[in-house]
A and B are shown apart, each in its own frame.
Chain A
Amino acid sequence: MKITRYIGYFSLFLILFIFSIFFINLFEESEVNFPEKNLPSGEIKTFEGNILDVNFLKKNEFSLLNVWATWCINCKLEHGFLMAKKTEGWNIVGLNYKDDLEKAFKWLDQYGNPYSVNLYDQDGEYGFSLGVSGAPETYLLKEDKILQKHIGIMSEKVWKDKFIPLINN
């Protein structure tokens, strides 16, 4: 029957379409767009009790904002990466999310501190205005603008695929 033949071709087309979608998606992961927006202006204090000065961020063309907490086990897994980036000279701002200040200090003492400055977001309100849904999350900043966001553990691979293209632009 003719209609069966057309249905056959249509199904084949659908299947190949699905495969192409998957194929493309596997490799286009890196070019996910992110609407550029400013760092929220909310009231947020650093560990030392000062309000974050945006000019501090403008000193570096690019910075990372890393959302972390002592209760977050995956944060431990990306810690090595963050320390490495610090040695390479990257500016990393920490956002300590829904955490205990004392525990945070102990954690940094014990494992090492990759952050140039840490923001203390005890109730998560600042994180909410940022669009945080949990830890770990890392934001790529250009001065005080957010270029990209990664939910989950940071690694060299994510750095290369997601952040480097935007840095090189």
Chain B
Amino acid sequence: MLLLIPIFFLSFSLEAMNIYEFSNENLEKDFIELSQEVSCPLCAGSSIAESDSDIANDLKNVIFKELENGKTPREIKNNLIKLYGESILFMPENKMSIFILYGFPLLLIGIGTFFLFNFLKK
């Protein structure tokens, strides 16, 4: 559920990017999603979708080509990780990290709620 939340901040109202002519719509959707998950290595937290820098455009080109060549988003991500390390993606891949990253705030909320109830009982 939590993972759905960032989705409404992914702009689904994005229109066609004519710079890249896709052979089918699904590839285009994949492209939009991927380019919002891949960070531009030298920019301050922007995704390659947002950034206009050289390296962002290079990455977009490569992703476009690979999608058209039939590679799945998973394969493309793995390839990018091999080249640039896991830090090229906005979320770490390993399950442990994801568990800790989301678990910790949940733990805090639990503690906080418990504390609040305690205060009331007073």
A and B touching (C-beta < 8 Å)?
Answer: yes
**A residues with CB within 8 A of B:** 1, 3-4, 7, 10, 37, 98, 124, 128-131, 133-134
Q: Are B55 and A134 in contact (CB under 8 A)?
A: yes
Identify the B interface with A (CB < 8 A).
Answer: 41-42, 54-55, 58, 62, 82-85, 111, 114-115, 118-119, 122
Q: How far apart are B69's CB and chain A's nearest CB, in angstroms? A: 15
Nearest CB of chain B from residue A123's CB, rounded to whole Å: 9
**Given the complex, which residues of A lie within 8 Å of B42, measured CB to CB?**
133-134
Q: A134-B41, A134-B54, A134-B55 are in contact. List 20 more A-B contacts (CB 8 A).
A: A1-B119, A1-B122, A3-B114, A4-B115, A7-B111, A7-B115, A10-B111, A37-B82, A98-B54, A124-B54, A124-B58, A128-B58, A128-B83, A129-B83, A130-B83, A131-B84, A131-B85, A133-B41, A133-B42, A133-B84
A residues in contact with B115, CB < 8 Å: 3-4, 7
Evaluate whether A128 and B41 lie within 8 angstroms (CB atoms) in the complex, with A1-B122, A3-B115 already known.
no
Tell me the minimal C-beta distance from B59 to chain A in angstroms: 8
Tell me the smallest distance from the CB of A35 to a CB of chain B, in Å: 8
What residues of A have a CB within 8 angstroms of the CB of B122 in the complex? 1
The chain A residue sitting closest to B56, CB to CB, is A133
- Top 5 A-B residue pairs of the complex, sorted by shortest distance between their CB atoms: A133-B41, A131-B83, A133-B55, A3-B118, A131-B84
Residues of B close to A124: CB separation below 8 A: 54, 58
B3, chain A: closest CB distance, angstroms? 25
